[in-house]
Every structure is written in C-alpha cells, then in structure tokens.
Amino acid sequence: MSSELHCSSAHAPHRNNSTSLQRFNSQQDTMAGFVNRENRVPYYQRLFQEGQKNGVRQWNQTARSKILLYPYYTILFGGLAGSMYMMSRMVLGHKTWFGKN
C-alpha cells in the first residue's frame, strides 16, 4: 500500500483533548438535575400511605390530581360519547354529525 491512502489531511481536524477533558471533569462534579432543596420523599410517602388507609386511589391523592384528571376525564368520556354517537349514526346510514346525510 502506498502512504497516500493513509494521509491524515483527509480526516477531520484533531480536537483539543485538554479542553474536552476539563469540560468532562466539570460535568462530573455536579449531578444531573440536582438542586439543593428539601427532600420531599417523606412528605409524599406519608401522604400516599394515609390516603391508602382512607380508601383514596393513588392517582387522586395530591392537590394537583384534580387539575390533571378532570380535563383527562372530559376528553376521555367526550371522545367516547362522540364515537358512540357517530357509530350509531353510521349504522343508520348518516355520514355527518347533523342532518340527513
């Protein structure tokens, strides 16, 4: 083989390893997503254990649950009702939401 095939000029320029190493070391010093704040695990553990004793479902125990669940229920049951309505209309031969056709 000739030395022309192994020419280093065809490759991408070499990166500065010391800069990459410094950047890697600085990223390892901090944990990803770590914020210096209180540990909320005992609070939520107590909340969920008390809710279980009272017969409350796990997805309905926090203060945010109603904010998240009511729109979900609206979309879920609204979509179900709309689907059932249109399926019954299609059985009767109507291909639109309102009217004869």
Where do the domains of the chain lie? Answer: 63-101
pLDDT of residue 7: 52
pLDDT of residue 35: 78
pLDDT of residue 81: 98
pLDDT of residue 77: 99
Contact present, 94 and 100 (Cβ < 8 Å): yes
DSSP letters, 25-63, are HHHHHS-TT-------HHHHHHHHHHHHHTT--GGGSST
Contact present, 87 and 78 (Cβ < 8 Å): no
Alpha-carbon gap, residue 76 to 83, rounded angstroms: 11
Distances (CA, A) of 41 to 38, 45, 47, 48, 49: 9, 6, 10, 11, 12
pLDDT digits (tens, 9 = 90+) for 50-72: 988 999 898 999 889 999 999 99
Q: What pLDDT tens digit does each residue of the chain (101 aa) get?
A: 555 555 555 555 555 566 665 665 555 555 666 778 889 999 999 999 998 899 989 899 988 999 999 999 999 999 999 999 999 999 999 999 988 77
